[in-house]
Amino acid sequence: MSEAAQTLDGWYCLHDFRSIDWTSWKKLPSDEREAAIQEFYTFLDKWDLMQQNKEGSYAFYSIVGQKADFMLMWLRPTMVELNEIETAFNKTKLAEYTIPAYSYVSVVELSNYLAGKSDEDPMENPHIKARLNPILPKTQYICFYPMDKRREGNDNWYMLSMEDRREMMKSHGMIGRSYAGKVKQIITGSVGFDDWEWGVTLFAEDVLQFKKLVYEMRFDEVSARYGEFGAFYVGALLNKERFSQMMTV
């Protein structure tokens, strides 16, 4: 059996994609629409406060295209808390006017492929802790997609030796690093939690950098030979002002 990579696991993660039921929303009297939005903003304020206290984090983005209209991404120390947030949101007035479009359950993951040898407890390293419990960037754009590593015939990632995988991950990391400052990635592991093996969430100020990075990686062996990809979601930052504007009918 090949050696499994060791993972460090951080905050649990839920990506929740919703479409808006515009027909019903338009039928709602404007004061009720406003009340629904204000109720939702009390949740946003609560999530902001938790984020300031480093008890979790969230991202709120619109989604371009027909797959969804907006997404909420939450990070919390336990999966129970994610479940509670999801349920609380589902009980809001606003949620009555949304249609679930997609969701993804995972946990922030760092693997040891490129970790140097060290005797220290990685959980005591503040740099690693910050990566496991990240405060999500508030960049103009987000990109999310789930992916697998292929297990087919001669192209079986899980049958490769640790050395071979480490070598390939080095090259993967080098490409990634050349996008430092342009794209921030959060890799979340989802084996046993959801239908794919990882969620890839990318943040950038310039949306074109997603295309450039993902395209360049397609030529790298880890992605070219072993990457299998789900649906891609791309969207733009939402805040109260932008969301109010978006919901105005």
Instruction: Give the residue numbers annotated as catalytic, written as ranges.
Output: 145
Q: Which amino acid, residue 45?
A: D
Which is nearer to ligand 76R, 107 or 187 (by Cβ)? 187
Which member of 56, 146, 227, 230 binds ligand 76R (CB under 6 A)? Answer: 227
Residue 209 is labelled as binding a ligand: no
Shortest Å distance, C-beta 133 to ligand 76R:
15
Q: Binding to ligand 76R by residue 114, rule CB under 6 A?
A: yes
Stretch that binds ligand 76R, among 53-61, 97-105, 180-188, 232-240 (CB under 6 A): 180-188
2-35 b/e with 16+ CB inside 10 Å = b?
Answer: eeeeeebebbbbbbbbbbbeeeebeebeeeebee
Q: Binding to ligand 76R by residue 223, rule CB under 6 A?
A: yes
CA-wise closest residue to 63 among 26, 12, 134, 15? 15
Binding mask 147-166 toward ligand 76R (x if CB under 6 A, else -) reads x-x-----------------
Measured distance CA(94)–CA(90) in Å, rounded: 8
Is residue 107 exposed (0-12), middle (13-18) or buried (19+ Cβ within 10 Å)? Answer: buried
Residue 172 is labelled as binding a ligand: yes
Which member of 24, 171, 185, 239 binds ligand 76R (CB under 6 A)? Answer: 185
Q: Binding to ligand 76R by residue 196, rule CB under 6 A?
A: no
Residue 225 is labelled as binding a ligand: no
| Contact footprint for ligand 76R (CB under 6 A) | 5, 110-111, 113-114, 147, 149, 169, 172-173, 176-177, 179-180, 183, 185, 187, 198, 200, 213-214, 217, 223, 227
Annotated binding site: 131, 145-149, 172, 185, 223
